[in-house]
Chain A
Amino acid sequence: MLPALIKPEHFSRYPPLARELATSNIELLRRLPLAYVSLLLREMIAYDWKFPVERHEIARDLKFLGGLPNASFEREMAAFRSLKLTAELEAFDWVNSPAAFSEKLTAHLWATHQIDQFRSSAVAYMNHRNESTPDIVPPIPRLGIAVIGQGVRETKYPLFRKLRPHGVYFRQVKASNGLATLLNGVSARASRHAEPFAHWYVDGGGWATDHLPAGVTAVSYGALATVRAELQRQMQKAYESGMGAEAMRSLLARMRPEDVGFDVSKGDPVLNSFEATLLTEGSGTQVFATTFVQWAAREALRRAQPSTLLARFAPRQRERPMNELLEEAKHKPDLDPHGSLIDADMGAYYTWLNQQRLSGAQPARFLAWFEDHEEAVAIGPGFDPGKVSGEPVELASLLGRLSD
């Protein structure tokens, strides 16, 4: 089926909010080329579990496209329309399975050497859209915090090499109760600027406090132990059945929160869905705590665009064969603190990069701290790029300067 033939009843299996959104924009959807409409539907079908910013982004797309004069509309869509697709792709149920369609479309574009054209078309479209409709600017400058190195006594690994050129590298940071200081800082921002999903705390172990701060969205590898165990059990079963890589990926992509043990009668359905996708769509997030934190921070920034994010990395299990990694829940695994420090050092850099991709990058601030040690990097206004400071400084004071 081609987009021009979409009818309201095609959306009957969509969740309520998504269905309403799709049917109320059906005229626009009919005008879009297949390669583009499937991308838009992939976002719309999950509308009921999207963060507020994501809903705004979908509305922004619809408003931008719906407001274009016909000639401009066709110009924006020309590159997508010129992609050569197949009858098989057209016959696929892309309305109800847009994610699966997207996988097939991607494979087709690679195989037919059209992926570069698709990529450049998507980038050009996003640039035009962003120029035409303003970004949401956060009410306060964004603040990202990465805490790395839990459990490492000493290291010769040169930390923060990629972050140092962008801020001040402090070599004498004093903190008697550093993590609590940072959590209090996050809590203070959340109470002053309360908004849903605007302040986040991600931990690679268990919670660092018995009382999670109010107004802060919290996600942790440890708190998801039961869910991960169930997912690992299902993955192990699929693995033993000889399931192929693509089939495994599709299986995971189809899983809903309740399929992996989330109690959907409790908690926030949007957060439940987010946590489930971290485990079903992430690669390595199911078995490596460091990967989980980096990916969770990336996805939180990309999707929820928070004002505040604290990402604390914890030691991951040592590398072992996949079937043993998947038995993490059954046997307490050996940990690899030093390897995890190196993972987290890169993860801190990626967290900063992902924060800087958001609106309000110029005044945004970032702090990376080697937990219970004296090394940190602070990035933001007032912190000269590439500077090194050997002066003693309190972590609380650094945080205060970044939060101003």
Chain B
Amino acid sequence: MRANDISRTIASSRRDFLRLATGATLLSPEFALRAQSTDRANKRKVVVVTFGGGARDDETFMPGGQENIPHLISELIPRATFFSQVVNRGILGHYVATASLATGAYETFNNFASVPPDNPTVFEYFRRDRGRPAADAWVVAPSNGFHRIGESANKDYGPKYSAGVILPKRLLASALAGSGGTQYEHLLRDNYENPLHAPALAGNQIELQKIAEILKLSVDDFTHHARSLASPDELSVYVAKQLMRQLAPSLLWITLHDIDIAHSGTFSLYLEGIQRTDRLCAELWNTIQSLPEYAGKTNMFILPDFGRDSDTEPGGNGFQHHRTGDAVSRTTWMMALGAGIRENTVVSRPVESVDLVPSIGSILGFDARRSQGKPLREVG
């Protein structure tokens, strides 16, 4: 079977399942929302959650996998427009792929390099075109490798239009500096891309105090609460909620990463990661609904950065990695929820992961001029 056929088959099974499970309607290709006026765009907010790092249909939307995503299926999909065939044609490494999602262009830098993306990010487009202050765009990212994702190397954009980037684990490491912190080590694990490697998390006291002030959170409260959390993604969501309550940014990007424990080859821990991510996505949506600054005017996008290798791809080792570039690892899904978006609807035509940024542009009123993607008419 050719890659395109495989992608279509994957999308078809997701679509059929959703129609059965939720009674979702299939949206005709002609459907389009009208363009947003500037006034409406001023009031809109967008939260992006990457269902990371890398989950397959086998463990999510396929029979046998659905038990791992009860919140997505029963709570979120009925409220969402679901894109059942989202193809990622870029490099399948988490940092470079997430950067590609954030720029709407397939970035080509070394996944392990500490470099900014080449193309302007969604945060820079938003802040420059809309004249928004720094406090209005934030990223909560999982590991040290993601600390350059808030701004690009593009000379027309760059630092003056960047997003604030919070690496919760680095904050926690900083808060625990000198105290040992053995009760927190489960929250400090870092890069799963190579599970042999866990780079030191360098904390910065100045950064800690500054962020603590922004979040209106004492360092003691932060560390005390962290003790009750089970994983790095729970820490990220906790910080994201604080940001929403204190600053209510118009553009918030949360990169989840627990699922990438799959690189260790332990299937049970990979499943636990999916189940936790499913729960955290629902928690974020409920938080959006509960906050007056967000309720009724926010769009939430949930999408994996990419999939993982197929069981039948001989060059890979199934769920463990995403190295082969096969159709299963490149074909994922996306759900869009909230203001102005049709509920319980499936879009089965193929779209690309780089379409996300221009689509956000049509909601928030900016031009993603260097993106390789196109605005999705169903969410504009």
Residues of A within 8 A of B (CB): 107, 110-113, 115-116, 119, 161-162, 235, 239-240, 242-246, 248-249, 252, 282-288, 290-291, 294-295, 298, 316, 319-324, 336, 338-343, 345-347, 349-350, 353, 357
Q: For the complex, what is the distance from the CA of A306 to the CA of B312, rounded to whole Å?
A: 20
A319 touches B311 (CB 8 A): no
Q: Which of B109, B265, B268, B324 contacts A283 (CB 8 A)?
A: B265
B264 touches A321 (CB 8 A): no
Q: Which residues of A contact B110 (CB under 8 A)?
A: 107, 111, 246
Most buried by B among A243, A283, A336, A347: A283
B266 touches A316 (CB 8 A): yes
Known contacts A246-B110, A346-B319; 7 additional CB pairs below 8 A are A110-B92, A240-B200, A284-B266, A291-B264, A298-B317, A339-B269, A353-B311
Q: Which residues of A contact B121 (CB under 8 A)?
A: none
Q: Is B101 an interface residue (CB 8 A)?
A: no
Interface 9-mer from B21-29, B70-78, B184-192, B352-360: B184-192
Q: Which residues of B contact A322 (CB under 8 A)?
A: 189, 195-198
Q: Is B119 an interface residue (CB 8 A)?
A: no
Q: Chain A nearest CB: distance from B245 CB in Å?
A: 30
**Are A283 and B198 also in contact (CB < 8 A) when A291-B266, A319-B269, A343-B266 are?**
no
Q: Chain B nearest CB: distance from A346 CB in Å?
A: 4
Q: Among residues 197 to 220 in chain B, which have CB atoms less than 8 Å away from a CB atom of chain A?
A: 197-200
CB closest residue in chain A, given B323: A106
A283 touches B325 (CB 8 A): no
**Are A119 and B268 also in contact (CB < 8 A) when A107-B110, A320-B186, A321-B189 are?**
no
**Are A111 and B265 also in contact (CB < 8 A) when A243-B197, A322-B198 are?**
no
What 8 A-B pairs come out closest when comparing CB atoms? A291-B265, A342-B268, A284-B264, A339-B268, A284-B265, A346-B267, A321-B185, A322-B198
**Are A290 and B265 also in contact (CB < 8 A) when A111-B108, A245-B191, A324-B185 are?**
yes
Q: Chain A nearest CB: distance from B344 CB in Å?
A: 29
CB closest residue in chain A, given B200: A242
Q: Which residues of A contact B191 (CB under 8 A)?
A: 245
Q: Which of A113, A245, A298 contacts B193 (CB 8 A)?
A: A245
In this complex, the interface size class of chain B, counting residues with CB under 8 Å from chain A, is 35 or more
Q: Which residues of B contact A107 (CB under 8 A)?
A: 110
B267 touches A342 (CB 8 A): yes
**Are A323 and B198 also in contact (CB < 8 A) when A161-B64, A246-B112, A298-B317 are?**
yes
DSSP class of A's interface residues: helix, strand, loop or mixed? helix
A245 touches B194 (CB 8 A): yes
CB closest residue in chain A, given B264: A284
Q: For the complex, what is the distance from the CA of A286 to the CA of B263, rounded to whole Å?
A: 13
Q: Is B241 an interface residue (CB 8 A)?
A: no
Q: Which residues of B contact A316 (CB under 8 A)?
A: 266
Q: Among residues 34 to 63 in chain B, which have CB atoms less than 8 Å away from a CB atom of chain A?
A: none
Q: For the complex, what is the distance from the CA of A240 to the CA of B191, rounded to whole Å?
A: 15
B318 touches A350 (CB 8 A): yes
Q: For the complex, what is the distance from the CA of A249 to the CA of B193, rounded to whole Å?
A: 11
Q: Which of B109, B311, B325 contacts A350 (CB 8 A)?
A: B311
**Are A244 and B199 also in contact (CB < 8 A) when A284-B264, A288-B264, A295-B317 are?**
yes
Q: Which of A162, A242, A252 contacts B196 (CB 8 A)?
A: A252
Q: Chain A nearest CB: distance from B274 CB in Å?
A: 13
Q: Which residues of A contact B321 (CB under 8 A)?
A: 283
Q: Is B166 an interface residue (CB 8 A)?
A: no
Q: Is B320 an interface residue (CB 8 A)?
A: yes
B267 touches A249 (CB 8 A): no
Q: For the complex, what is the distance from the CA of A294 to the CA of B110, rounded to whole Å?
A: 30
**Are A115 and B200 also in contact (CB < 8 A) when A245-B194, A290-B265 are?**
no
* 18 A-B contact pairs sorted by A residue (CB < 8 Å): A113-B108, A119-B315, A119-B324, A161-B64, A244-B197, A248-B194, A252-B196, A282-B265, A284-B195, A284-B266, A290-B265, A294-B265, A316-B266, A322-B195, A323-B185, A341-B268, A343-B265, A345-B267
Q: Among residues 276 to 303 in chain B, which have CB atoms less than 8 Å away from a CB atom of chain A?
A: none
Q: Which residues of B contact A343 (CB under 8 A)?
A: 265-268
Q: Among residues 97 to 122 in chain B, which have CB atoms less than 8 Å away from a CB atom of chain A?
A: 106, 108-110, 112
B112 touches A245 (CB 8 A): yes
B314 touches A357 (CB 8 A): yes
Q: For the complex, what is the distance from the CA of A148 to the CA of B138, rounded to whole Å?
A: 46
**Are A285 and B265 also in contact (CB < 8 A) when A115-B325, A116-B325, A245-B193 are?**
yes
